[in-house]
Amino acid sequence: MYIGAARARAVGLLTAVLLCSPALGETPAPPPALAATTLPTTGSLSNLAAQFDKTPDTVVADVNGTPITLGMVADRLRDFPEKLSVLPSSVVYKSALDDLVEQRALAVKAKELGLDKRPETKRRLDEATDQALAQALIRHITPELVTDKAIEDRYNNTIAGKPGPEEVRFRVIATATETDGKIVLERLGNGTDFAGLARAVSKDPSAFNGGEIGFAARDQLTPEIGAVVFSLMPGQTTAFPIPSHNLWFVIQVEGRRQLGAPSLAESRNRLTNDLTKEAAAEIIRKTRAAVAVNNYGPTGMQGQIMGH
């Protein structure tokens, strides 16, 4: 499946949000196609897609006269990772629309060059049809398995009455090179104020705020940053710069806290996503088991495969 630069930009925006929310800046104005629709500032992508599905034939753009509809935007939103829900709805909408426009522009050029007539292209188009049908089947059956009762049961069994996630409050100073990071650590060791130094030299968007990130759970951070942050106690600073996203981070932990169990409402989106993934895996398993597959591969790999 084509993944356009717009989706990468959306993921990049998410990284900025997770590492420092002030980096996002002002929320863009809603696009004209949504002027008559009141959208939440943020929200579940699946809910946003469902809202767009109410008027799927609304044309929101065209490329050389070929329309792009709100339904197509909804379909693209379903391909985005649900964690992008932390972004403003208008930002996610624009990313999806830009992605579709770029994809359509490339398709127009490919047809001009006659690439749609090539055998390998036709094979990929057939494969894309199978993929779309497979996804349609999963979406058709999933609601029967991911019910309100299933969500509530999962909440009661895994979340209710148990400790919530631990969060750590910390600051960062990001440098372009490891050597610059070591210089930062040396200055901190000589008594330089962390916040003041962050404002002066950090390349992270949090620099304006003295490197303040605030409280964050481990799953909100990149693996390398999360591993280090949660290994430190309040008042401690990393012993060496940590590489992440092409920068080197010096980190200072300021506090830790243990949250209580989130409510069912707060947990619903995550539980729904978890159950949806499990349901999809079960649908795939049962559907695969119901068909006979004959393997005509290389010597030693032939034979009938019955759903294995």
**Residue pointed to by tokens 């969500």:** 151
- Rounded CA gap, 158 and 149, in Å? 14
What range does the domain containing 206 cover?
Answer: 166-258
- Rounded CA gap, 52 and 84, in Å? 17
Residue 300: what pLDDT? 57
Residue 196: what pLDDT? 97
Same domain, 54 and 75: yes
User: How many domains in the chain?
Assistant: 3
First to last CA, the chain: 25
Q: pLDDT 10s per residue in the chain (308 long)?
A: 334 444 454 444 444 444 443 334 444 455 555 555 555 555 678 888 888 999 999 999 999 999 999 999 999 998 888 778 778 888 889 999 999 999 999 999 999 999 999 999 999 999 999 999 998 999 899 999 999 999 999 999 999 988 888 999 999 999 999 999 999 999 999 999 999 999 999 999 999 999 999 999 998 999 999 999 999 999 999 999 999 989 999 999 999 999 888 899 989 988 998 999 999 999 999 999 999 988 886 665 555 444 44
Same domain, 106 and 241: no
pTM: 0.56
Same domain, 270 and 246: no
Residue 295: what pLDDT? 82
- Rounded CA gap, 284 and 272, in Å? 18
Same domain, 104 and 175: no
Q: Record the tokens describing residue 190, joined without a space.
A: 């000589």
Residue 124 domain flag: no
Domain boundary among 218, 241, 258: 258
Residue 29 domain flag: yes
Residue 122 domain flag: no
In the chain, the DSSP E strands lie at 59-63, 66-69, 166-175, 212-217, 242-244, 247-258, 293-295, 303-305
